[in-house]
């Protein structure tokens, strides 16, 4: 290696080590060869600065990612991945993006590989409108459910803008809600909890997306409309669950409503006026003795406070809270009859005490506060 | 070039089929791999196709990556890229010499910052043009060694050459580039 080559090699090594100032010192110390080597050194420096336009790179990154996700789905179909679909969706939403978690990842993992493979194959092979239509109403356990989830995944991965992604997330959240209601109707408590958990994750993605869009000064009217619409759907479902006495679903929805409410408040999101929620349907009460079992308002930035709950000696569950404070009043008292009462926080009088949710009689209550009438 | 710890963790998780970790590796390396491929194949469409197949191939075969035997994850990934490019041209264009690869590189980036370079004040277009005067191997050395910042050993692993051979090639490539660029400048100066 000649002296010049040696010097260039030293320069390259310094570049690799990030010692930019070292280069000048190096050249100063080799005055005799400086002009010749400087030329090469600067040429290498110029080459190292070459780059393509951000626009081109950014577009390519998005397009290649979309193709990759589809290819990975193909891998699952043909069984190339021995442990697929462990986290193929998570890969898409978490690994390559910063803003969202994987609303479907948990479900994807729960699906059996053959079921998902068949479903995905079905998608790839037919991509037919009829199949999609049939799958849209599929419930967990149905052969078409995998197709439904695969289709959702494609919708999510092919959303071309944040607004559209928001619409997809809202749609997915409402689907999970409908599925949770269906599971509750057949008494599948475990499925209800899984589905409401997925609902919650999807809603948090939607909230987070709204926050990100707001930060980027994008128009959030559409996505916040979707958010408030979905919150209302949750509230309606909660009222219906209470009317039907679906305790697990009601408890789960109360829990997710609290969680979402906190996220919305923490991010100071204000939703359109349509997010001022209607009161949950009031269940017929039998000789109502208000025991303060209600539901939290899932409204945000709204003073509307909703409540519905068991009362008058029933087996009931619920939580009463204000739409903003999140205070929960829960419990069930009494020993006979059934019924659900509603109250608004402002109307409630009486004393409250901490309760573990299991009080006198046959009541089944959630941990919280039991409020007795004065 | 040693693997930095966070990257090593991502690689380890990816080997265990953690798709999220692989997604993060994708985010870390996409730009570099795409740029390399783009300079080699010359157009964006082919570069996207190839880059996608390189990452898919990496996902499928990442369990074959060995921190002990491979110089670095970057080197391993670029080796996949190198092989993908060679395979592509071997399959599709048997009659075309590898020296022709990249002859159609488009020079789209004339944005501020890229056209004014230290001392040489190179435009990207000039450099592109000068790169075409190199042999395919020299061009690859220049891209991997100088544009992507891989070590001579890593480049050697990728190209199946000794480290010393790579060093020799890089010096010859630099000389050739300097000659080409100087001639180009003199010609332009005369034209003015």
Residue A367 pLDDT exceeds 60: no
pLDDT tens-digit map of B105-142: 333 333 333 333 334 445 666 777 778 888 888 888 88
What is the per-residue pLDDT for B54? 92
What are B51's two structure tokens? 């880059």
What is the per-residue pLDDT for B109? 35
**Residues linked to residue A329 through DSSP beta bridges, in sequence order:** A320, A369
pLDDT tens-digit map of A6-20: 777 777 776 666 555
CA dihedral B62, B68, B73, B75 (to 10 degrees): -110
What is the per-residue pLDDT for A363? 33
Residues of chain B with Cβ-Cβ distance to A90 below 8 Å are 19-20, 23
Lowest-confidence region among A116-130, A234-248, A358-372, B170-184: A358-372
In total, chain B counts a number of residues equal to: 192
Of residues A325 and A170, more confidently modeled: A170
Task: Check A42 against B118: CB less than 8 A apart.
Answer: yes
Residue B158 pLDDT exceeds 80: yes
| Alpha carbons A98 and A101: distance in angstroms, whole number | 8
Query: In the structure, what pLDDT confidence band is assigned to residue A160 with cuts at 50, 70 and 90?
Result: low
Residue A213 pLDDT exceeds 50: yes
Residues of chain B with Cβ-Cβ distance to A63 below 8 Å are 48
Task: Check B26 against A75: CB less than 8 A apart.
Answer: no
Of residues A296 and A186, more confidently modeled: A186
Residue A195 pLDDT exceeds 70: yes
Q: Which of B51, B124, B149 sits opposite A64 (nearest CB)?
A: B51
Residues of chain A with Cβ-Cβ distance to B174 below 8 Å are 8, 40, 43-44
Answer for the pair A231, A299: CB distance below 8 angstroms, yes or no. Answer: yes
Lowest-confidence region among A26-30, A77-81, A200-204, A240-244: A77-81
Residue A45 pLDDT exceeds 50: yes
| Alpha carbons A365 and A356: distance in angstroms, whole number | 8
Interface test with A, best of B23, B118, B144, B185 (most A CBs within 10 A): B23
8-state DSSP, A276: S
Residue A246 CB partners (closer than 8 Å, separation 6+): A184, A185, A192
What is the per-residue pLDDT for B51? 92
Residues of chain B with Cβ-Cβ distance to A88 below 8 Å are 19
Answer for the pair A312, A321: CB distance below 8 angstroms, yes or no. Answer: no
Give the Å distances, CA to CA, from A364 to A230, A312, A348, B170: 28, 13, 21, 78
Task: Check B34 against A61: CB less than 8 A apart.
Answer: yes
**Residues linked to residue A310 through DSSP beta bridges, in sequence order:** A340
- Chain A nearest C-alpha distance from B165 (Å): 11
pLDDT tens-digit map of B96-105: 333 333 333 3
Q: Which of A1, A46, A68 sits opposite B52 (nearest CB)?
A: A68
Query: In the structure, what pLDDT confidence band is assigned to residue A304 with cuts at 50, 70 and 90?
Result: very low
pLDDT tens-digit map of A72-104: 665 554 444 444 443 444 444 455 543 333 333
pLDDT tens-digit map of A176-194: 898 888 888 888 888 888 8
pLDDT tens-digit map of A317-333: 333 333 333 333 333 33
Strands, E assignment, A159-315: 309-310
Answer for the pair A80, A65: CB distance below 8 angstroms, yes or no. Answer: no
What is the per-residue pLDDT for A197? 85
Of B159, B166, B123, B127, residue with least CA distance to B39: B127
Query: In the structure, what pLDDT confidence band is assigned to residue A253 with cuts at 50, 70 and 90?
Result: very high
When pLDDT is averaged across residues A124-131 and rounded to a whole number, the result is: 51
Tell me if chain B has a CB within 8 Å of the CB of A9: yes
In angstroms, how far is the first alpha carbon of chain A from the final one? 96
Task: Check B23 against A60: CB less than 8 A apart.
Answer: no
What is the per-residue pLDDT for A302? 37
Query: In the structure, what pLDDT confidence band is assigned to residue A147 with cuts at 50, 70 and 90?
Result: low
Residue B28 pLDDT exceeds 80: yes
Hey, which residues 84-143 in chain A have their CB within 8 Å of chain B? Answer: 86-88, 90-92, 94-96
Mean pLDDT of all residues in chain A?
61
When pLDDT is averaged across residues B166-172 and rounded to a whole number, the result is: 87
Interface test with B, best of A96, A103, A108, A109 (most B CBs within 10 A): A96
Count CB atoms within 10 A of the CB of residue B31.
16
8-state DSSP, A167: H
User: For chain B, which domains are there?
Assistant: 5-191 (1.10.1740.10)
What is the per-residue pLDDT for A190? 83
Hey, which residues 33-52 in chain A have their CB within 8 Å of chain B? Answer: 38-40, 42-52
Residue A260 pLDDT exceeds 50: yes
| Alpha carbons A313 and B84: distance in angstroms, whole number | 73
Lowest-confidence region among A258-262, A316-320, B123-127, B155-159: A316-320
Helix orientation angle between B73-92 and B5-15, rounded to the nearest 10 degrees: 60
Task: Check B174 against A80: CB less than 8 A apart.
Answer: no
Residue A156 pLDDT exceeds 60: yes
Output the CA angle A358-A364-A368, nearest 5 degrees. Answer: 55
Lowest-confidence region among A102-111, A114-123, B179-188: A102-111
Whether the ipTM is more than 0.90: the answer is: no
Residues of chain B with Cβ-Cβ distance to A46 below 8 Å are 117-120, 122, 127
Tell me if chain B has a CB within 8 Å of the CB of A19: no
Q: Which of A56, A57, A91 sits opposite B20 (nearest CB)?
A: A91
Tell me if chain B has a CB within 8 Å of the CB of A62: no
What are A167's two structure tokens? 């619409």
């Amino acid at each position: 290696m000649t002296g010049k080559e040696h010097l260039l090699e030293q320069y390259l090594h310094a570049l690799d080590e990030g010692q930019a100032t070292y280069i000048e010192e190096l050249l100063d110390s080799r005055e005799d060869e400086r002009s010749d080597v400087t030329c090469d050194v600067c040429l290498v420096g110029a080459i190292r600065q070459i780059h393509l336009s951000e626009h081109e790179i950014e577009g390519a990154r998005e397009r290649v990612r979309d193709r990759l996700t589809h290819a990975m789905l193909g891998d699952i179909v043909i069984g190339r991945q021995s442990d697929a679909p462990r986290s193929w969706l998570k890969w898409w939403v978490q690994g390559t993006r910063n803003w969202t978690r994987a609303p479907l990842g948990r479900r994807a993992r729960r699906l059996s590989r053959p079921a998902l493979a068949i479903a995905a194959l079905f998608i790839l092979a037919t991509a037919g409108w009829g199949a999609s239509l049939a799958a849209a109403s599929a419930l967990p356990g149905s052969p078409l459910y995998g197709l439904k989830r695969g289709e959702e995944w494609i919708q999510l991965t092919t959303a071309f803008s944040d607004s559209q992604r928001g619409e997809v997330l809202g749609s997915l959240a409402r689907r999970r809600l409908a599925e949770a209601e269906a599971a509750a109707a057949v008494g599948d408590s475990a499925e209800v909890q899984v589905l409401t958990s997925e609902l919650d994750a999807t809603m948090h993605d939607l909230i987070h997306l709204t926050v990100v869009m707001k930060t980027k000064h994008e128009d959030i009217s559409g996505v916040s409309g979707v958010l408030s619409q979905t919150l209302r759907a949750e509230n309606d479902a909660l009222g219906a669950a209470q009317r039907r006495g679906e305790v697990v679903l009601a408890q789960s929805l109360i829990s997710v409503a609290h969680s979402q409410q906190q996220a919305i408040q923490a991010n100071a999101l204000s939703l359109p006026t349509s997010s001022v929620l209607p009161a949950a349907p009031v269940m017929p009460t039998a000789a109502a003795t208000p025991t303060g079992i209600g539901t939290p308002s899932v409204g945000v930035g709204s003073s509307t406070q909703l409540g519905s709950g068991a009362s008058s000696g029933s087996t009931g569950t619920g939580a009463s809270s204000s739409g903003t404070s999140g205070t929960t009043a829960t419990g069930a008292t009494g020993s006979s009859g059934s019924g659900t009462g509603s109250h608004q926080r402002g109307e409630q009088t009486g004393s409250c005490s901490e309760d573990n949710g299991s009080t006198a009689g046959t009541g089944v209550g959630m941990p919280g506060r039991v409020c007795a009438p004065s | 070039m040693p693997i930095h710890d966070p990257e090593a963790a991502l690689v380890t998780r990816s080997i265990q089929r953690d798709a999220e970790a692989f997604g993060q590796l994708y985010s870390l390396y996409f730009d570099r791999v795409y740029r390399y491929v783009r300079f080699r194949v010359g157009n964006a469409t082919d570069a996207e196709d190839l880059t996608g197949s390189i990452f898919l191939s990496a996902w499928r075969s990442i369990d074959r990556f060995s921190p002990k035997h491979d110089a670095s994850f970057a080197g391993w990934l670029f080796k996949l890229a190198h092989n993908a490019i060679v395979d592509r041209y071997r399959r599709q264009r048997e009659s075309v010499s590898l020296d022709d690869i990249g002859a159609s590189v488009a020079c789209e980036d004339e944005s501020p910052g890229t056209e004014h370079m230290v001392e040489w004040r190179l435009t990207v277009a000039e450099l592109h043009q000068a790169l075409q005067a190199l042999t395919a191997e020299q061009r690859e050395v220049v891209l991997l060694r100088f544009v992507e910042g891989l070590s001579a050993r890593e480049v050697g692993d990728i190209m199946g050459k000794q480290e010393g051979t790579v060093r020799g090639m890089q010096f010859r490539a630099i000389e050739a580039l300097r000659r080409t660029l100087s001639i180009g400048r003199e010609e332009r100066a005369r034209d003015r």
